[in-house]
Structure formats: C-alpha cells, structure tokens
Chains A and B, each alone.
Chain A
Amino acid sequence: NAGVTQTPKFQVLKTGQSMTLQCAQDMNHNSMYWYRQDPGMGLRLIYYSASEGTTDKGEVPNGYNVSRLNKREFSLRLESAAPSQTSVYFCASSAGTAGKGYGYTFGSGTRLTVV
C-alpha cells in the first residue's frame, strides 16, 4: 500500500546548489502535483501535471522546474536553491476527475533547508 512515495525526506542545501525531489505513485492516477508549505501557511501549488506528457504552472512556480517522466513519476527540480525555498514540499496525486477531490493522496513530505 505504497500510495505516493517522496524522496528524500530531509535535505539541506547550500545556496546555489541544485537538487531534484522525486515522487512516484502506484495508484494509476492521471494527475500529479507539487505543493510547498511554509510555517503558518496552507499548501501552495507549485506545478501540476493533469496527465502524462503535460505540465502547468501553479501559484508559485518561480525557481522550479518539473518533469512528468511517465504516468507514475513527477519530479521537481531546484536549479539554483535559494533560502526562500526553505519549506516542506508535498507531492500528491489524484484521479484527476473533477469533483473527486477526495481521491487526493499526499506523500509524506520533504523537509528542505537552504542555508
């Protein structure tokens, strides 16, 4: 019962370093999402992929890139990390059928610190 698997769980980067957060789901979901959560705030959408082969910007896309490698995997890349990107990152997937929001499944999160 893996659901959505995110790696790594924790990461510390120096300013200017790059890294890729990995996300994989095994529920055959069409849509996948990357959110970030900052202290005292709800989750904000960075990028999403409504289906394999498509990606779109969310509310806070600057400084990030994504790749929908196949139906299972959706990665998030920070090309040049900045302290403002210190956050907890959640990957999620859903069947993508409108009105079926209960089908959202979240990964366990990646706590990223940029120093």
Chain B
Amino acid sequence: EDKVVQSPLSLVVHEGDTVTLNCSYEVTNFRSLLWYKQEKKAPTFLFMLTSSGIEKKSGRLSSILDKKELFSILNITATQTGDSAVYLCAVETGTASKLTFGTGTRLQVTL
C-alpha cells in the first residue's frame, strides 16, 4: 500500500520566521512528488518534483526531492500571515497519475 507521511502535523511560527516541512513516502511506481497549498477550498499547485537534488523555487518557497532516501522538504522563508494554510504533499504513481496524499501540515503564521 502506498504511503505518504508528513511532519510536523501542525506548526505555529511568527511572521518572518523560516519553516521546513517534511514529506516521506513509500510507494510503488513513483512518477513525481507534488506540493499543494490548501486554504479552505481546493488544493492549489505549488511544485512538482521528479528528479533528486534539483531545487524548485518560487519566490519565498522552495522544495527539493531525495529519491534515494524517499523524502522531500518544502521551505518557506520570511513567512507572512498569508502563508497560513495546510500544505499537502502528494506522490503521483502509475500510468493513470493517481495521487496519494499525506495528511498535511497545518501552518499558522502569527504577527
């Protein structure tokens, strides 16, 4: 059975802090790993990672994948209150692009 585990489950930080969110996985037929941001509605896409060691970056967010150790991290620097959300990690498997999600990390950024 495919499994995706995220940590921590929740996190409270002050505005301006840097946070690291973790995602580990055990799946068969790995295709890609994806990060989503969810704010009380449908998940919105952040990153897709397919190759080890190549950092993807978008503004203050970055992510990297380690396919040998089977994990990924999502970094957010200089956090803002608008970053408060649930961050979901998902692994795409198989030819039908099924996604297996972790339970998410709930991030709260306070002033």
B97 and A98 contacting across the interface, CB-CB below 8 Å:
yes
**B interface with A by C-beta (< 8 Å):** 4, 6, 31-32, 34, 41-43, 45, 48, 50, 88, 90, 92, 94-104
**A interface with B by C-beta (< 8 Å):** 31, 33, 35, 40-45, 48, 50, 56, 58-59, 90, 94-104, 106-109
**Which 6 residue pairs across A and B have the least CB separation, nearest first?**
A42-B101, A50-B96, A101-B92, A106-B42, A102-B48, A101-B32
Q: Chain A residues with Cβ under 8 A from B41's Cβ?
A: 108-109
Within the assembled complex, what's the spacing in Å between the Cα atoms of A8 and B3?
Answer: 31
Rounded to whole Å, the gap between the CB of A52 and the closest CB of chain B is 13
Number of A-B contacts defined by CB within 8 Å: 77
Within the assembled complex, what's the spacing in Å between the Cα atoms of A59 and B100?
Answer: 9
Q: Chain A residues with Cβ under 8 A from B43's Cβ?
A: 43, 90, 106
B96 and A56 contacting across the interface, CB-CB below 8 Å:
yes
* Secondary structure type dominating chain B contacts: strand
Q: Chain A residues with Cβ under 8 A from B103's Cβ?
A: 40-42
B96 and A48 contacting across the interface, CB-CB below 8 Å:
yes
Rounded to whole Å, the gap between the CB of B45 and the closest CB of chain A is 6
Q: Chain B residues with Cβ under 8 A from A100's Cβ?
A: 32, 97
Q: Chain B residues with Cβ under 8 A from A43's Cβ?
A: 43, 88, 90, 99, 101
A107 and B42 contacting across the interface, CB-CB below 8 Å:
yes
Rounded to whole Å, the gap between the CB of B35 and the closest CB of chain A is 11
Q: Chain B residues with Cβ under 8 A from A50's Cβ?
A: 95-96
